[in-house]
């Protein structure tokens, strides 16, 4: 993380407790408040962060990012070191899970455990033949909709709620999250709001070289969490991650799609705390 880049962060729990760093997908609000609170109750210092060009992080040009996936991974590793000299439990959701994989591979000394939620082992774009791609019918419905006016808070919230309904997530939760994302963005220009809500930055990012082939070399305890009903990254992607990372545990949320439902927050947090306890033993 260069001197020009600052990541937006929010903290929960005791500042002296072991660190759990939650990487947004792409904004920190991808991590639900109840998960953060449950981890904090479990004796962890919880910090959730935005990626570059999202939320409260440094914003330059989300339409033409001048950095790579590995730069985002380095941002995360540097932030972890700034927050605590001890290795952190790193967790990433969605595209943040891709960043977390690369961060753990490139900076193994920085992390004591790894949690990957609703993600896959390859970058956006053409998917490997053995991995299930986005559900075609769902994607057609999702992306055939006209874009909202990204400067209009209500229009953006309506758009997010309708998209959640298509994906199988909770529309009311998505609406509330979209309103919070809009309100806390450092820059409210249409391009930045689109980046926050659609992951536009990540879609244009240089994600080379591939990292999937390096996953068997991960030596950090790993938890893979995936929604059974996820049409965006179908559950086979989580199953592949769990197969390829040595000793990884797979937790499938039977009633979940792309987001962590509030009803599953305690289950996810408990699994993460158990993973860390095993790593500490």
145-to-159, 163, 235 alpha-carbon distances in Å: 9, 9, 25
* pTM for the predicted model, two decimal places: 0.96
Q: Which two tokens stand for residue 98?
A: 């891709």
Q: What is the pLDDT of residue 199?
A: 81
Distance between CA atoms of residues 38 and 116, nearest Å: 17
Q: What is the pLDDT of residue 96?
A: 96
Decide if pLDDT at 3 tops 80: no
Decide if pLDDT at 281 tops 80: no
Q: Which residue(s) pair with 23 in the sheet?
A: 49, 92
Check: CB of residue 21 under 8 Å from CB of residue 89.
Answer: yes
Reported as a pLDDT band with limits 50, 70 and 90, residue 12 is very high
Q: What is the pLDDT of residue 197?
A: 81
Domain ranges for the chain, please list them: 9-128+186-280
Distance between CA atoms of residues 64 and 160, nearest Å: 24
Q: Which two tokens stand for residue 262?
A: 């509030």
Q: What is the pLDDT of residue 184?
A: 86
Burial of 176 (0-12, 13-18, 19+ CB in 10 A): middle
Reported as a pLDDT band with limits 50, 70 and 90, residue 1 is low
Q: What is the pLDDT of residue 193?
A: 83
Decide if pLDDT at 2 tops 50: no
Pick the CATH number of 9-128+186-280 from 3.40.190.290, 3.40.50.1820, 3.40.50.2000, 3.30.420.40: 3.40.50.1820
Average pLDDT, integer, range 199-226: 94
Reported as a pLDDT band with limits 50, 70 and 90, residue 167 is very high
Residues 187-190: contacts with CB under 8 Å, at least 24 apart = 187/59, 188/151, 189/150, 189/151, 190/149, 190/150, 190/151
Reported as a pLDDT band with limits 50, 70 and 90, residue 202 is confident
Mean pLDDT of the chain: 94
Q: What is the pLDDT of residue 60?
A: 84
Residue with tokens 């903290």: 11
Decide if pLDDT at 187 tops 80: no
pLDDT digits (tens, 9 = 90+) for 49-88: 999 998 889 888 888 899 999 999 999 999 999 999 999 9
């Amino acid at each position: 993380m260069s001197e020009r880049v600052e990541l937006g962060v929010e903290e929960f729990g005791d500042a002296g407790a072991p660190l759990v760093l939650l990487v947004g997908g792409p904004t920190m609000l991808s991590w639900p408040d109840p998960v953060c609170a449950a981890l904090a109750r479990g004796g962890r210092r919880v910090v959730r962060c935005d990626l570059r060009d999202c939320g409260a992080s440094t914003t330059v040009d989300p339409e033409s990012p001048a950095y790579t996936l590995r730069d985002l991974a380095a941002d995360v590793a540097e932030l972890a070191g700034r927050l605590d000299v001890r290795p952190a439990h790193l967790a990433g959701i969605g595209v943040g899970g891709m960043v977390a994989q690369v961060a753990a591979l490139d900076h193994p000394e920085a992390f004591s455990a790894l949690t990957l939620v609703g993600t896959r082992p390859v970058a956006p774009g053409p998917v490997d033949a053995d991995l299930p791609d986005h559900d075609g019918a769902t994607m057609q419905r999702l992306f055939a909709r006209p874009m909202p006016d990204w400067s209009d808070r209500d229009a953006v919230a309506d758009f997010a709620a309708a998209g959640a309904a298509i994906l199988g997530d909770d529309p009311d939760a998505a609406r509330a999250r979209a309103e919070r994302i809009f309100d806390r963005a450092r820059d409210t220009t249409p391009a930045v709001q689109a980046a926050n809500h659609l992951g536009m930055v990540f879609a244009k990012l240089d994600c080379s070289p591939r990292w999937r082939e390096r996953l068997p070399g991960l030596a950090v305890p790993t938890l893979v969490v995936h929604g059974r009903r996820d049409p965006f990254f179908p559950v086979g992607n989580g199953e592949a991650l769990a197969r390829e990372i040595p000793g990884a545990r797979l937790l499938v949320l039977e009633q979940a799609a792309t987001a962590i439902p509030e009803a599953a927050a305690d289950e996810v947090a408990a699994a993460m705390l158990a993973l860390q306890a095993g790593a500490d033993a």
